[in-house]
Amino acid sequence: MKAFSYNPLYLADQSCLQHPGASQCTSIINDDVSAEWAEMMWSPEGRGDIEIMATLGANTVRLYGNDPRFTKRKFFDELLSNKMKAVTGLSNYPFVNPSSPRGCIYGSAYNCFENATETYAMLLTTGEFAKNGYYHNALEIVSLMNEPDIWLWSPGGWNGPNNYIKALVTAFDGVLSAEKQANIKPWKNGKLPKFTIGWSYALMRKELCSKEGYISDPASECGPGIGFMSQFYHAIHDPQGTVQYKPQNDLAQAYKDRWINSLQPFVGTPQLWNQAIQPAQTLPSLMDVKIYLGEYDPAVDLCGDKPSCKNYGKDQLQADMKTILTDEGWKKNVLGVSFFEFQQAYNKYQPHELAYGMFNLTADTPWTTSHIEGDSAPNHPINCLDWKTKDLAQGVAAAYGGSIPTLRCKKQVLHGAEMVI
């Protein structure tokens, strides 16, 4: 897997170009960029983001926001036309939304079965993840949630069985039930998309590295990222004894057949190997499960919140990514890596968060979104791309076997039709 983490939000206000992270930059009405309202960002008729990622050598796109009201079929079709696949998911909304409809951590004591079933049923149908009982061929992996170890502590922290692990066990049960409702069948090759959870590269709380936290072997199972994976594994194989939940589906079998682990490390490969990858290859709870790296760019951490530096730039990133993708020790259970991220997030406000991104935006806006349901504005300008970290792009392209694309921005009229050049 050679991927990009892709969430190129439009600017809430054009002043955000000069003042990223300001208060006027945070009001994004919708972040589901795989929906048709964002087509001019990723289609060949618009900015051509998918083609850009394919040119750089990517074969997968990792998505974030996912509004089940909107179809994703055009986006998935465009991926396939570029020989790419999608890692998508439920988004965090059905878990953490505090208002109506209330997220399950607020309204259901961390029992997320109903929220996940309803949301995923809508994604399968209205969202067009599937048609006539078959998943779209672009779907590779579906994530239940992104970084639940960060987002699911509120409101209750760890309170007996009502905790983030319960939320995820019940959500897994819910999406499996939604598949049954939609009469989902395997593709002709007998396979179905895999499921995952995108864990951060953090250590769990010390008091949870114990039987109370469902950990069997505290000496080896509590490393960054892999501690959460181990918790989930043990809860899936004993849901009643851990989170006091009786599932409607055979979770252990579904885990065996369809589970992939994922984590978001921002460290060099020697550290990552010692702390997570090598332990995961030896732990009984993790050794038979593949892993992919859902977000990866150590430069910002190693460069003092700068996009890149002499300490970590093109050469180091290329070497790390090449190790992840080609080293035989890594290939034993690591599927691949996703560069974080495609475009700078102008709606974030921390200097650290604003430092990420291969591309930033120019003042030119030759395209617009279409209308987004529920938005008071008819549309939003779509800005052209410019290089923010071209040195890192060169490293990614070299590791992915791609090349540096030509960025297009202007429109011209050719034979009576608009053409982007």
Query: Are 300 and 307 within 8 A, CB to CB?
Result: yes
Note if the bond before 161 is cis, omega within 30 degrees.
no
pLDDT value for 412: 43
pLDDT exceeds 80 at position 189: yes
Residue-wise burial string across 66-82, b where 16 or more C-beta atoms lie within 10 A, e elsewhere? bbbebbbbbbbebbeeb
pLDDT exceeds 80 at position 415: no
- Quote the domain boundaries for residue 176: 2-420
pLDDT exceeds 80 at position 318: yes
pLDDT value for 410: 73
Q: What pTM does this model have?
A: 0.95
Residues of the chain by 3-state class (helix, strand, coil), percent to 5: 35, 15, 50
Count of domains forming the chain: 1
CB neighbours of residue 180 within 10 Å? 12
| Spatial separation of the C-alpha atoms in residues 249 and 254, rounded to whole Å | 8
| Spatial separation of the C-alpha atoms in residues 30 and 53, rounded to whole Å | 23
Residue type, 366: P
pLDDT value for 390: 98
Q: At 414, is the pLDDT very low, low, confident or very high (cuts 50, 70, 90)?
A: very low
Model pLDDT for residues 262-300, shown as the tens digit of each residue: 999 999 999 999 999 999 999 999 999 999 999 999 999
DSSP 312: B
Q: At what angle do helices 251-258 and 226-236 cross, to 10 degrees?
A: 140
The two structure tokens encoding residue 14: 């054009």
The two structure tokens encoding residue 95: 């878990």
Q: At 419, is the pLDDT very low, low, confident or very high (cuts 50, 70, 90)?
A: low
Least confident of 35-44, 125-134, 156-165: 156-165
**CB-count exposure of residue 97 (10 Å: 0-12, 13-18, 19+):** middle
DSSP 334: E
Tell me the CB-side half-sphere exposure of residue 54, using CA atoms within 13 A. 16
pLDDT exceeds 60 at position 259: yes
pLDDT value for 420: 47
pLDDT value for 306: 97
Angle at 368 between CA 366 and CA 370, to 5 degrees: 155
Spatial CA neighbour of 173 closest among 252, 69, 105: 252
CATH number where 8 lies: 3.20.20.80
Residues 6+ positions from 184 with CB-CB distance below 8 Å: 124, 130, 133, 134, 135, 192
Model pLDDT for residues 37-62, shown as the tens digit of each residue: 999 999 999 999 999 999 999 999 99
Query: Which sign does the torsion angle of CA 269, 271, 277, 281 carry?
Result: positive
Model pLDDT for residues 172-186, shown as the tens digit of each residue: 999 999 999 999 999
DSSP alpha helices (H): ranges in 92-162? Answer: 93-96, 104-107, 113-125, 148-151
pLDDT exceeds 50 at position 123: yes
DSSP characters over 47-86: T-HHHHHHHTT--EEE-----TTS--HHHHHHHHHTT-EE
pLDDT value for 418: 54
- Average confidence (pLDDT) over 118-143: 98
pLDDT exceeds 90 at position 68: yes
pLDDT exceeds 50 at position 413: no
CB neighbours of residue 302 within 10 Å? 17
The two structure tokens encoding residue 363: 């003042």
Residue type, 235: A
Give the mean pLDDT of the chain: 95
**Residues recorded for the chain:** 421
pLDDT exceeds 70 at position 218: yes
Please, what is the end-to-end C-alpha distance for the chain in angstroms?
A: 30
